[in-house]
Structure 1
Amino acid sequence: MKLCSQVIGAISLVLILGSLNVKVVECKVGRGLKNTEYYAINCRKHSAVLTDFGGVGDGKTSNTKAFQSAIRKLGQYASDGGAQLIVPPGKWLTGPFNLTSHFTLFLHKDAVILASQVESEWPQLPVLPSYGRGRDAPGGRFSSLIFGTHLTDVVITGHNGTIDGQGSYWWDKFHKNQLNLTRPYMIEIMYSDQIQISNLTLVNSPSWFVHPIYSSNITIKGLTILAPVDSPNTDGIDPDSCTNTRIEDCYIVSGDDCVAVKSGWDEYGIKFGKPTQHLVIRRLTCISPDSAMIALGSEMSGGIQDVRVEDITAINTQSAVRIKTAVGRGGYVKDIFVKGMTLSTMKYVFWMTGSYGSHPDPAFDPKALPNITGINYRDVVATNVTYSAKLEGISNDPFTGICISNVSIQVSEQKKKLQWNCTDVAGVTSNVTPNTCQLLPEKGKFDCPFPNDKLSIENVQLKTCSIKKVF
């Protein structure tokens, strides 16, 4: 193994040319030295390549020990400028591995991390405290492929290298009801601060793709996330009980919600009491015929507040920005601001559900009613739509403070006669076609509000970092 005090790994001439041959070199400066750059919240002083630790990129040899050994060794440099692990060109089969603080995992554009389909390679973890049980099964859960907890300053990035969850093994077990534990997620970071996940292609996760939970100061940028549209629960990005999160410039094709904002499930989420708040989502493109572009809930019992969404696009997707909740959830969804949606071939433009009644167990409190208020949509263009809106609040617990302005909806040939179906909601509208329901009356010309200030996560500037390569 060779480590360099400046960010060096060692990659041959053909890192530029796209060859699969990689040469490991010692740290040196001299003729033929060039840099490849990437952008990160922090750069690293030390560097190594996976092959330094016995990694074999043939798509068949297990690299679980190589990843674990590399990260354990590089973790020693956390207090000395941090370290990065370079995954070079090749197909790197591996079971789960845990990250460390002040660390960057960098994937070359021709690198593919392949998740093992050997179930015994996947460690078991206890259930999440804000959920009280596994999402698929009551017991524990399998570790995520890339996992970390109680970390600071973690970057997972690359030049659009690929992580393949090889999820078909897990989807098949799910469909056959053969799971005793919840399926793995692809990337999960818990109880951590300063996280970046960017510039990668993620495909075929066993379940959710990217799951930051109980964490803060998160940047998720430039991801391409792909799963079959009939694959079960393959949510793209699920910020869960997180504060200060920025999601931008992502393209997602999913069998479930492209982005699902969460904060715990029923009595467990209420007791844990950690909301998702101060979240910005922008320049998102989604394809999901059976789910939402952005879902708020249904697990929202710790609360969701101050979500800012702008310049988003959905194509052949069931709904746009959807609220999902139920009696027993408690919590709140409030101060939601959406501006600039371009939608094509949608079942619903606006959809709010107060009867999304899946519960972890029968112990939920039927008196725990969610507070849904301050929901704002503006500047929407939608074509080929079946229903303009289905807005169903909860009896004796209406959804209030709904504002919808400047909306143009063109219905499809399969349009339904009742375009706006509204119950137990209250609010106002302006310049919306087709005409809205009586519970959302037209109140003249105005724009629904959208914040002018910036969240602190929006002010985070990425640094230009480099990997030096010698040929």
Structure 2
Amino acid sequence: MLKFLILFVLCFTSSALAEGITCSDIVPLKNRRYNISLTAFGGVGDGRTLNTKAFREAIFQIQQWGREGGTLLYIPPGVYLTESFNLTSHMTLYLAPGAVIKATQVTHNWPLTAPLPSYGRGRELPGGRYMSFIHGDGVNDVVITGENGTIDGQGDIWWNMWRKRTLQFTRPSLLELVNSTNIIISNLIFLNSPFWNLHPVYCSNVVVRFVTILAPHDSPNTDGIDPDSSSNVCIEDSYISTGDDLVAVKSGWDEYGIAYGRPSSDITIRRVNGSTPFSGIAVGSETSGGVENVLAEHINLYNTGVGIHIKTDTGRGGQIRNITVLDVYVQGARKGIKIAGDVGGHPDDKFDPKALPIVNGITIKNVRGVKVLQAGLIQGLRNAPFTGICLSDVNFLGVKGSARSPSWKCSDVLGAAHQVSPWPCSALTNNQSGSCANYSQV
């Protein structure tokens, strides 16, 4: 398995160099002044010894040294069992080949943290949330990397609590960074998250590259990467196979997200492959702070619920605009494309049903799909139709031998289409020029 993953990353590296387009310059990689090993603080990689104290003491030492060049914390080969711990600024967490940081499955004393203000409560349950396994709040200049080491959330105990409805609070993410800047996450395997895997929220300047994210397809809500009310985020050259959306751009939930008012903007998703029973590339459904300027390109999706999914709901408010999706291949999907205004629940009954989302300027080009049951669904809102929708060079083929063709359904939408097969719907005018730039977005 490890050999396969190393080859996978090497292939992605070659591909990235061939494309000549990467996000590596968003957050420059720095040489650290100090280097310390977890074993110097009592770390034992036998898979049984609890290493919480070692992690916390090592990171406390990094805090004391401060910003003068920063410090690299080296995790040698071995399996390091630990409770959750917090990162600090100006540090690199570096996992050697064969190094595993593994979450304990003792949940009764897992630390709690406050609900995110843009959500008003935990995503699953009212009240606070269990803190993420690896957590950072207000940190700057943090690198989480290695040589294909693994961060293992051992999430099955949390999934079973969710299934049995015995959770008291919202499950922990595997890695959550809050109010943080200049973050690099690269060259690691993230395994079996209890909840969402990578969750940068209220962050800026974040790069996620060359990661593999894995969880069973029946694991609940194990989203791969969720940029949330964050800006200048790049996700590229990665493989994700989980039980929920592979990448989902978010910005807060109903009245809480509207009040917090922090959009997600300038998000790039490039050269991502993966599989999920839910959505491949998603925007939403929590978009109350707004989502704008998203580019997703060179995406390959296999055995996926919905290939490209833009989702919101009444009560969300916010604007979703300037979303561009290019060069996507889908093999096996219930729906190729879905843009809908009736997706997702509400945190409570205080949402304003008159807070309607505005969806404008969605461009989807060069998409190919095979074994697709339904080509697409575009369902706007009666009092807030989706406008500026452009489909260009989109082709979906159904399942061989099936009598059902991969047709479209549309309502309350305005836009244009060019070379789309099967033809989407009369609401999208036939744009002979093939350009998405010049048609009316009324």
Query: TM exceeds 0.5?
Result: yes
> 2:288 matched to which residue of 1?
301
The 3-state SS of whatever aligns with 2:63 is: helix
2:333 matches 1:336: no
Q: How far apart are 1:40 and its partner, in Å?
A: 6.2
Q: How far apart are 1:121 and its partner, in Å?
A: 4.3
The 3-state SS of whatever aligns with 2:425 is: coil
* Residues 216-365 of structure 1: pairs in structure 2 closer than 5 A: 216-289=204-277, 291-365=278-352
Q: Is contact 1:85–1:105 with CA below 8 Å preserved after alignment?
A: yes
User: Number of matched residues?
Assistant: 411
Letter in 2 for 1:133: R
Structure 1 vs Structure 2 CA RMSD: 1.4
Q: 2:361 aligns with which of 368, 371, 374?
A: 374
User: Distance between the aligned counterparts of 1:298 and 1:248, measured in 2?
Assistant: 22
The 3-state SS of whatever aligns with 1:328 is: coil
Q: 2:173 aligns with which of 165, 174, 185?
A: 185
> 1:51 matched to which residue of 2?
39
User: Distance between the aligned counterparts of 1:120 and 1:317, measured in 2?
Assistant: 35
* Residues 89-168 of structure 1: pairs in structure 2 closer than 5 A: 89-168=77-156
Q: How far apart are 1:414 and its partner, in Å?
A: 3.7
User: Distance between the aligned counterparts of 1:144 and 1:181, measured in 2?
Assistant: 12
> 1:402 matched to which residue of 2?
389
Cα pair distance change 1:418/1:99, threshold 3 Å: closer
Letter in 2 for 1:331: G
Look at both structures and tell me which one has the larger radius of gyration over its CA atoms: 1
Q: How far apart are 1:371 and its partner, in Å?
A: 0.3
The 3-state SS of whatever aligns with 1:51 is: helix
Q: How far apart are 1:447 and its partner, in Å?
A: 3.8
Q: What are the Cα deviations for residues 176-202 of structure 1, in whole angstroms up to 9, with x where unaligned?
A: 110111101000000011011111001
Letter in 2 for 1:350: I
Q: Is contact 2:398–2:406 with CA below 8 Å preserved after alignment?
A: no
User: Distance between the aligned counterparts of 2:435 and 2:29, measured in 1?
Assistant: 36
The 3-state SS of whatever aligns with 1:119 is: coil
User: Distance between the aligned counterparts of 2:267 and 2:178, measured in 1?
Assistant: 17
> 2:198 matched to which residue of 1?
210
Q: Is contact 2:398–2:405 with CA below 8 Å preserved after alignment?
A: no
User: Distance between the aligned counterparts of 1:415 and 1:197, measured in 2?
Assistant: 46
* Residues 383-398 of structure 1: pairs in structure 2 closer than 5 A: 383-398=370-385
Q: How far apart are 1:416 and its partner, in Å?
A: 3.4
Cα pair distance change 1:126/1:249, threshold 3 Å: same
Q: What are the Cα deviations for residues 59-107 of structure 1, in whole angstroms up to 9, with x where unaligned?
A: 0110011000000001222222100100100000001110010100000
User: Distance between the aligned counterparts of 2:112 and 2:407, measured in 1?
Assistant: 47
* Residues 430-449 of structure 1: pairs in structure 2 closer than 5 A: 430-448=418-436
User: Distance between the aligned counterparts of 2:44 and 2:221, measured in 1?
Assistant: 32
> 2:8 matched to which residue of 1?
none
Q: Is contact 1:386–1:414 with CA below 8 Å preserved after alignment?
A: no
Letter in 1 for 2:254: D
Between 386-395 and 261-270, the greater mean CA deviation after superposition: 386-395
Q: How far apart are 1:449 and its partner, in Å?
A: 5.3
User: Distance between the aligned counterparts of 1:397 and 1:430, measured in 2?
Assistant: 24
User: Distance between the aligned counterparts of 2:226 and 2:106, measured in 1?
Assistant: 26
> 1:30 matched to which residue of 2?
none
Q: Is contact 1:354–1:392 with CA below 8 Å preserved after alignment?
A: yes
Cα pair distance change 1:400/1:99, threshold 3 Å: same
2:159 matches 1:201: no
2:164 matches 1:176: yes
Q: Is contact 2:373–2:405 with CA below 8 Å preserved after alignment?
A: no
Letter in 1 for 2:328: M
Cα pair distance change 1:173/1:213, threshold 3 Å: same
Q: How far apart are 1:367 and its partner, in Å?
A: 0.7
Letter in 2 for 1:141: R
TM-score in terms of structure 1 length: 0.86
Between 441-450 and 431-440, the greater mean CA deviation after superposition: 441-450
* Residues 80-95 of structure 1: pairs in structure 2 closer than 5 A: 80-95=68-83
User: Distance between the aligned counterparts of 2:75 and 2:369, measured in 1?
Assistant: 42
Q: Is contact 1:431–1:445 with CA below 8 Å preserved after alignment?
A: no
What is the aligned-residue identity percentage?
48
User: Distance between the aligned counterparts of 1:318 and 1:155, measured in 2?
Assistant: 33
The 3-state SS of whatever aligns with 2:211 is: strand
Q: What are the Cα deviations for residues 250-293 of structure 1, in whole angstroms up to 9, with x where unaligned?
A: 1000100000110000000000000000000000012002x111
Q: Is contact 2:270–2:297 with CA below 8 Å preserved after alignment?
A: yes
The 3-state SS of whatever aligns with 1:74 is: helix
Q: How far apart are 1:245 and its partner, in Å?
A: 0.3
Q: Is contact 2:214–2:240 with CA below 8 Å preserved after alignment?
A: yes
Letter in 2 for 1:233: N
Q: What are the Cα deviations for residues 36-69 of structure 1, in whole angstroms up to 9, with x where unaligned?
A: xxx9622210010110000010101100110000
> 1:411 matched to which residue of 2?
398
Q: How far apart are 1:320 and its partner, in Å?
A: 1.6
Q: Which runs of 5+ in 2 are unaligned?
A: 1-26
> 1:17 matched to which residue of 2?
none
Q: How far apart are 1:448 and its partner, in Å?
A: 3.2
User: Distance between the aligned counterparts of 1:49 and 1:288, measured in 2?
Assistant: 37
Q: Is contact 2:406–2:422 with CA below 8 Å preserved after alignment?
A: no
Which one has more relative contact order, counting CA pairs under 8 Å at least 6 apart? 1
The 3-state SS of whatever aligns with 1:269 is: helix
> 1:464 matched to which residue of 2?
none
